[in-house]
Structure 1
Amino acid sequence: GMGEVYRARDSRLQRDVAVKVLPRALAQDQDRLRRFEREARAAGQLNHPNIMAVHDIGSTEPNGGGLPYIVCELLEGVTLRNKLAAGPIPPRKAIQYATQVARGLAAAHAKGIAHRDLKPENLMILAGDHVKILDFGLAKLLRPDADAGGTDDDTGPVARSLTMTGEILGTPSYMSPEQVRDQPSDHRTDIFALGAILYEMLTGRRAFDGPSHADRMTAILQSEPAPLPTETEDAAPGIGSIIAHCVEKSPTDRFDSAGDLAFALSLVIGRSAARPSSATTAADAGHTHVSALTVPRDLPNRRVTLREGAVHGARFTPDGKAVCYGAAWEGHRVELYWTYPGNPESRALGGPRTDLLSIAHTGEMAVSVRRLSRGGFFYTGMLARMPIGGGAPREILDGVWEADFHPDGRRLAIAREEGGMARIEFPAGTVLYQTPGAVSSIRFSRDGSRIAFLDHVARGNDAGCATVVDMDGNVRRLSAVYSSTRGVAWSPDGREVVFAASNEGSRAIFAVDPEGVTRMVLGIPSNITLKDISRQGDTLLVIENERMRTHFIGPTEGDARDLTWLDWTLVRGITADGSRILFDETGLGGGTLGSVYIRGTDGSPAIRLGDGSAFSLSPDGAWALASVGLARSTLELVPCGAGEPRTIPTGDLDIDHVSWFPDGRTLCCLASEPGRARRLYKIDLARGKREPFSEEGITYYDSLVSPDGRFALAHNPDRRLTIYPVDGSASRPLEGAIEYERPVGWSAKGDAIYVFSRGELPVKMWRIDLATGARMLFREISPLDATGVEGIATARMTPDGRALAYCYYQRMSRMYTVEGLF
């Protein structure tokens, strides 16, 4: 069978591990042994919270002639098989288990690795109902070869795959039809098995059962599982159809991916959570409660855009029939377009770098000229007005993030930054709301009495909540905080604020009323960004395929490589020798709380350090700074190797960024106190004592300390890089720097600073001499495929300037009009 498992101590990293010593038959077949090593290494690349980590492989003899073994993380819990011995599992818990398994499978499938022997014995339930998938890659390898020629078959013949050294290896009840028929299989085999496992969790009986293996395989090929009990369907509406979709006989009829399955399961959890009450408020227990959901199927829709690239601002024209939008197609700058849904061609309305902000009922457009990305999903430009049919824009005000026409068609509300605070103004200059975080998607209500917007908890990410402010500045938060929010509109009757958001899975469309009662309007297995809702009830939305990619450039040309791990790989630090990078995953792959990783720049597998979002690496590369939770009020010191994490006391600070002083014992923290703008603090690691040393109003969300520890570099209230002495003496602007330029790092001697500007391609990286302000071009960077890319997001460089890691946001948009949602 699987051999014996031992508890062992890794003396090098001071941790307990599990060592699985595999059967002697495996060691005696060199072809199978080589395949075992290859696949075990592949399994070792899987670093996901729901997959058992593989640390090492080896042999009990130094020359490799002994028994092969595999070193895994030590898990303490019970298998799902043991749980099932007590009977069916409550629906909500069973679906939560299945959702975790689906997420783990999605991560493995993304790496080209399928399990092919998923069963309750291979699922471990840990404390807190955390699920781990065991033995990835082993099931296939433990089967004898398909033929004497050693062909590396995907499945292996059934008769031989059922037994090994006299024991059952693959339980027939969870095999897919293609496995039973000895046909090639892929990741959809795992989806079939998970559907069968979920059925068994809910009912306490196997989906495909019988007194013998042959009977069970016949049931897999010819029968369907018995219907779920009525009480199960009532507790989790729609779960039966999801299981049926998983266990379709043909792989093409199943879910396309485990990610799609995870999303569908998350919707069922949302439905079942809402069933006891028809109306709950966002304030209840700090969670969003969603009313009963039925995902609309076959809604009338039309695709509006067919080109490759990113859609920006978009609105219906006043008659609700045509669409105006800004888009950056095929790697070009954003430009204005007009189209009629159903027409494959769009007509250009203006020059490059012009985006749409709003359309008045009179047909006049508010546009942003010289629009540029400033990072963290925010853009700035010159606010201007122009006719909807095209023509020269009339410029009004620079530095505006967003704008929206009042229903009177004449006045504009704007969002912009002043003094380090994000502000909503109406009219321009009159502040209705301000925050050290950020605001987006400002939209007047149908009667003009309120403005709905997304209130973001921090700069640099799109976590936020749906909020309204009236004309007297009274603010009301309507929804809970979601980990991703994009786009706001009002329902046709003006009674609900509609927004796109997610906490787990893909962004869906929600609607919330003035009392905070939230309902889901539309959920699909893709990220949605809401653009507009017409008075007639049509919805304009964009389906986003988006990723954050990270690349590394070493001292030589051959050192360049793609280090993207999951879907949102954002580099946060690089070791002094350029051998490792610190990054976080805050997209779908990172989970609800996000995940912090360390990875070798040689392309070796990433190591997950823990939950949260990362800030920076310690000077010696031994520690990472991270924050767990959307509020960013807790700072964690996380070891990059052996050791225990610890919490750094920060009091009531709301943290935007943290970097290290060279001594490794002091932190430079960019943060804000309640009700105040952000500033720089010096924090002692040992005592937690903090001392502010800059003015309030620091505008951007990064800061870097000089090599001698005497200065910190940050953006002043005018958005220009400024050098702040740590002793609190007078600051001085960095001569030669341009507004909004981002720092990459200090030179090793501290006599120069490297910078770049967001929103341009190719990206020019400059060296600015501190003494003279002279700028010298240091490097040019451009992704191989610039479609959907607007520049790089962040970059981190070694002190000697020889190694660099940078990341860039890439998105591909498809815009649709959808009828029938309202």
Structure 2
Amino acid sequence: FRRGAVFNARFSPDGNSIYYAAAWDGNPIDVYVAGRDDPGARSLGASGDPLLAVSRKGDLAILAHAQYLYHTSYVGTLALLPPSGGSPRELLEKVREADFAPDGETLAVVRAERGKNLLEYPVGHVLYETPGWISYMRISPDGNRAAFLDHSVIVDDRGDVAVVDRNGKRTVLSHDWEAEAGLAWSPDGKEVWFTATKSGFGLGLHAVTLDGKERRLLAIPGGMTVLDMARDGRALISRGTSRYGISALLEGEKRERDLSWLDGSGAEHISDDGKLIAFENWSEPNGLYYAACIRKTDGSPVVRLGEGLVLALSPDARWVLTVKFTALPQLVMLPVGAGQPKLLPRGDLVAYQLGATWSHDGKRLIFTGSEAGSGNRVYVQEVAGGDPHPISPEGYRTFSRSIAMDDRSLIVAAPDSSLVRMPVAGGTTTSIPGTEAGDLLVGWASDGKRIFVYHPAELRPRIFTVDLGNGERSLWKQIQPADPIGLMPFHSAFADLTPDGRNIAYQYHRLVHELYVAEGIR
């Protein structure tokens, strides 16, 4: 047995072999094949390329040039790999999920396009689209439906279990899970099996019929993820531990400090003076709707402010911006000290995403959201009141420190994922010399002339400064975790850096899995 994370697994067409993608012993993800009666496994030489599906003809769908996003999700170029390995044949860019129809040739895909996830079956025919994200998309045994996990907030694994038919009719079979990961069809196509939980990290195995009748199949300590089912009813299940935590490297200290609370802390935001963090906690005691919390970076006890998903900390560290999970999500400002929560008008928005930013004068919020039937856009809202209004076309998104030090412009991700500069008042965007394809923003330097960026493809990410005047790119710091085994790659949605560059706090996610073939589950 090796230590690390299992990302996906599928039975071979005859059920006698197992293909799986895993990152073992701190190394990049790779695709392996193991025989049913052989405990060993052989690499197919697809280092860095996650596995998506296996056809009935034996071809493997993988993601070439894959870029890590969050949880166990990647985006890249869909490619076909022969069952024995070799050179993959590239087919389609910007793909997140793929599965084969029963004919072994027709593909269904989930693509990222202009601020939306599009479910296409066959490729090019859109059945469903969402400004959130889609995971674990699987085609039914008869080929007439696609089942998937539907998440309304990018990065958050909260969501529903849904199916969509060939005519584009979407049906939610099971809803409002605090965390969900893993899905497979029963061999007869009458049920969708999935793993999810209403609170905490102990995902249990559930089944739901196409008319919404749900039953619990299995619960074990530590949780599990269902990945595939064979025609004879055997299931591929990964079992292991998942821990989210917060590390901080503070001014004058040589070692990182762990500021985690319980077993599920993250989405942290650090005050400009480096003395306070705001974060959310998803541990089981905090229930279905998360806990918004603060903590001094000296390790003082945690203060729970209320429910919600944390988006931002105000420049004066007196308010925490959260999303409350009501029938339609609601922006709420929670006071750090004495005071009452403040609800902000929603306008026509139906969803908010991570990556909100507060103007330095504290008067405006800038964030990513979407209206019904639309993709994600950048919005501005006055803290004093009034509805939010968009300042970008669809497909643009913000970061947690997007806004410039003078509050006049901001750095956002364009639809092609490049970093661009945009006036806060709206208008033409400009490219940023010195940034590279795939760069993500961590924040602005206090001089207002440089930004901090990094590339998420690296397991030990290097953070660079980019001079906005001349495009000079310089290494600032490299994140070096003491134990890299099972760690998911660093992501700026889960990191915050003070403008002086002297304090950084980031979320880590460690997965340690074992892969099992389970028999006799009914």
Deviations 1:369-402 (A, max 9, x none): 2333112542012211122122222222232111
1:470 pairs with 2:171:
no
Query: Which residue pairs with 1:521 in the alignment?
Result: 217
Q: Name the amino acid aligned to 1:577.
A: D
User: Secondary structure of the equivalent of 2:95?
Assistant: strand
Q: Name the amino acid aligned to 2:88.
A: P
Measure how far apart 1:483 and its partner are.
Answer: 1.2
Q: Is the contact made by 1:570 and 1:583 (CA closer than 8 Å) also made in structure 2?
A: yes
In structure 1, how many angstroms separate the alpha carbons of the residues matched to 2:242 and 2:271? Answer: 28
User: Secondary structure of the equivalent of 2:46?
Assistant: strand
In structure 2, how many angstroms separate the alpha carbons of the residues matched to 1:491 and 1:387? Answer: 26
Query: Which residue pairs with 2:377 in the alignment?
Result: 679
Measure how far apart 1:343 and its partner are.
Answer: 3.5
Quick one: which of 293, 296, 311 aligns to 1:615? 311
User: Secondary structure of the equivalent of 2:384?
Assistant: coil
Quick one: which of 796, 800, 808 aligns to 2:496? 796
In structure 2, how many angstroms separate the alpha carbons of the residues matched to 1:452 and 1:660? Answer: 38
Query: Which residue pairs with 1:649 in the alignment?
Result: 345
Q: 1:652 to 1:729 in 2, by over 3 A?
A: closer
Measure how far apart 1:688 and its partner are.
Answer: 2.8
Gaps of at least 5 residues in structure 1 are 1-305
In structure 1, how many angstroms separate the alpha carbons of the residues matched to 2:258 and 2:324? Answer: 27
Query: Which residue pairs with 1:695 in the alignment?
Result: 393
Q: 1:383 to 1:778 in 2, by over 3 A?
A: same
In structure 2, how many angstroms separate the alpha carbons of the residues matched to 1:363 and 1:641? Answer: 60
1:669 pairs with 2:364:
no
1:738 pairs with 2:436:
yes
In structure 2, how many angstroms separate the alpha carbons of the residues matched to 1:736 and 1:427? Answer: 39
1:538 pairs with 2:234:
yes
Indicate the larger mover: 719-728 or 696-705. 696-705
Query: Which residue pairs with 1:451 in the alignment?
Result: 146
Q: 1:590 to 1:722 in 2, by over 3 A?
A: farther
Measure how far apart 1:589 and its partner are.
Answer: 4.8
In structure 2, how many angstroms separate the alpha carbons of the residues matched to 1:530 and 1:734? Answer: 43
Query: Which residue pairs with 2:506 in the alignment?
Result: 806
Counterparts of 1:280-679 in structure 2, within 5 Å, are 306-341=1-36, 343-505=38-200, 506-558=202-254, 560-629=256-325, 633-653=329-349, 654-657=351-354, 658-679=356-377
Q: Is the contact made by 2:401 and 2:444 (CA closer than 8 Å) also made in structure 1?
A: no
Q: 1:390 to 1:689 in 2, by over 3 A?
A: closer
Counterparts of 1:56-67 in structure 2, within 5 Å, are none
1:725 pairs with 2:423:
yes
Q: Is the contact made by 1:797 and 1:805 (CA closer than 8 Å) also made in structure 2?
A: yes
In structure 2, how many angstroms separate the alpha carbons of the residues matched to 1:701 and 1:341? Answer: 46
Q: Is the contact made by 2:94 and 2:113 (CA closer than 8 Å) also made in structure 1?
A: no
In structure 2, how many angstroms separate the alpha carbons of the residues matched to 1:325 and 1:645? Answer: 47
Indicate the larger mover: 372-381 or 429-438. 372-381
User: Secondary structure of the equivalent of 1:481?
Assistant: strand
Deviations 1:556-614 (A, max 9, x none): 23463111222222143111111111111124353221111111111222221111111
Larger helix share, 1 or 2: 1
TM-score w.r.t. length of structure 2: 0.95
In structure 1, how many angstroms separate the alpha carbons of the residues matched to 2:118 and 2:398? Answer: 15
Indicate the larger mover: 339-348 or 611-620. 339-348
Q: Is the contact made by 2:51 and 2:63 (CA closer than 8 Å) also made in structure 1?
A: yes
Query: Which residue pairs with 1:820 in the alignment?
Result: 520
Gaps of at least 5 residues in structure 2 are none
Measure how far apart 1:481 and its partner are.
Answer: 2.2
Measure how far apart 1:485 and its partner are.
Answer: 1.1
Measure how far apart 1:661 and its partner are.
Answer: 0.9
Quick one: which of 411, 420, 440 aligns to 1:713? 411
TM-score w.r.t. length of structure 1: 0.61
Q: 1:525 to 1:501 in 2, by over 3 A?
A: same
In structure 1, how many angstroms separate the alpha carbons of the residues matched to 2:430 and 2:153? Answer: 26
User: Secondary structure of the equivalent of 1:361?
Assistant: coil
Q: 1:565 to 1:810 in 2, by over 3 A?
A: same
Larger Rg: 1
Q: Is the contact made by 2:320 and 2:333 (CA closer than 8 Å) also made in structure 1?
A: yes
Q: 1:560 to 1:524 in 2, by over 3 A?
A: closer
User: Secondary structure of the equivalent of 1:672?
Assistant: strand
Counterparts of 1:50-199 in structure 2, within 5 Å, are none
Q: Is the contact made by 2:399 and 2:441 (CA closer than 8 Å) also made in structure 1?
A: no
Measure how far apart 1:497 and its partner are.
Answer: 1.3
Q: 1:700 to 1:502 in 2, by over 3 A?
A: farther
User: Secondary structure of the equivalent of 1:791?
Assistant: coil
In structure 2, how many angstroms separate the alpha carbons of the residues matched to 1:711 and 1:805? Answer: 25
Q: 1:571 to 1:474 in 2, by over 3 A?
A: closer
User: Secondary structure of the equivalent of 2:44?
Assistant: strand
Q: Is the contact made by 1:634 and 1:650 (CA closer than 8 Å) also made in structure 2?
A: yes
User: Secondary structure of the equivalent of 1:492?
Assistant: coil
User: Secondary structure of the equivalent of 1:478?
Assistant: strand
Deviations 1:80-134 (A, max 9, x none): xxxxxxxxxxxxxxxxxxxxxxxxxxxxxxxxxxxxxxxxxxxxxxxxxxxxxxx
Indicate the larger mover: 548-557 or 691-700. 691-700
Deviations 1:295-346 (A, max 9, x none): xxxxxxxxxxx21000012001111232110100000001111113453321
Q: Is the contact made by 1:569 and 1:583 (CA closer than 8 Å) also made in structure 2?
A: yes
In structure 1, how many angstroms separate the alpha carbons of the residues matched to 2:287 and 2:461? Answer: 31
In structure 2, how many angstroms separate the alpha carbons of the residues matched to 1:702 and 1:571? Answer: 10
Indicate the larger mover: 598-607 or 324-333. 598-607
Q: 1:376 to 1:650 in 2, by over 3 A?
A: farther
In structure 2, how many angstroms separate the alpha carbons of the residues matched to 1:738 and 1:809? Answer: 26
Q: Is the contact made by 1:457 and 1:631 (CA closer than 8 Å) also made in structure 2?
A: no
Q: 1:768 to 1:589 in 2, by over 3 A?
A: farther
In structure 2, how many angstroms separate the alpha carbons of the residues matched to 1:335 and 1:540? Answer: 18
Q: 1:780 to 1:692 in 2, by over 3 A?
A: same
In structure 2, how many angstroms separate the alpha carbons of the residues matched to 1:353 and 1:377? Answer: 13
Q: 1:522 to 1:402 in 2, by over 3 A?
A: same
In structure 1, how many angstroms separate the alpha carbons of the residues matched to 2:328 and 2:436? Answer: 29
Q: Is the contact made by 1:761 and 1:782 (CA closer than 8 Å) also made in structure 2?
A: no
Q: Name the amino acid aligned to 1:698.
A: Y
In structure 1, how many angstroms separate the alpha carbons of the residues matched to 2:169 and 2:442? Answer: 40
Q: Is the contact made by 2:33 and 2:42 (CA closer than 8 Å) also made in structure 1?
A: yes
In structure 1, how many angstroms separate the alpha carbons of the residues matched to 2:93 and 2:151? Answer: 22
Counterparts of 1:5-44 in structure 2, within 5 Å, are none
